[in-house]
Amino acid sequence: YVAVLLAGIASMVIGFIWYSPMLFGTLWMKLMGYTKESMKEAKKAMTKTYTISFVVSLITAYVLAHVMTLSENFFHYPSVTTGLNTAFWMWFGFIGPVQLTDFLFGGKKFQLFVINTGYQLASLIVMGLVLAMSSLFRFSRTGRHPEL
């Protein structure tokens, strides 16, 4: 469960960086129709938003860890390969299509779709890596150390 917690924290860190002015924050604000003033006002309610977002990232990390375990036991790939593959295919099969449907029917700009869906991919990839690396610090059920 420590790995799930670390993966959830990593997802939040990726989000803070992704949506910061350093990367896509300024463009995202513009595409969403936000101003600096409206963002200052919205920050007052951010504790609840960030808390819910963190809980959801923990759920995502838990499900990803579960699917990674199934995948690793089925394919017998090394942990990091399993983490990267599972994260990508979970994004490609579940998150990408849902976000694409939202884009198609939501009337949002394509750039916004790319920013938001790109974040989801980056988040899952980092979560997969965190979960994979954590498996290197514990022994598998067979008693052998997992491979990279």
Mean pLDDT of 113-135: 95
Measured CA distances, 112 to 10, 99, 108, 135 (Å): 22, 10, 7, 35
136: confidence class by pLDDT, cuts 50, 70, 90: low
Q: Is the pLDDT of residue 4 over 90?
A: yes
Mean pLDDT of 89-103: 96
Higher pLDDT pick, 38 / 12: 12
Task: State the pLDDT at residue 141.
Answer: 46
Alpha carbons 41 and 45: distance in angstroms, whole number: 8
137: confidence class by pLDDT, cuts 50, 70, 90: low
Task: Write out the two tokens for 123.
Answer: 């988040």
pLDDT in tens, 39-68: 888 887 888 899 999 999 999 999 999 999
8 Å CB contact between 85 and 67 = no
Higher pLDDT pick, 97 / 148: 97
Q: Is the pLDDT of residue 140 over 80?
A: no
The continuous run of DSSP H or E covering 77 comes out as none
Task: State the pLDDT at residue 135.
Answer: 75
Task: Write out the two tokens for 37.
Answer: 């003033």
Q: Rounded to a whole number, what is the largest CA-CA distance in the chain? A: 57
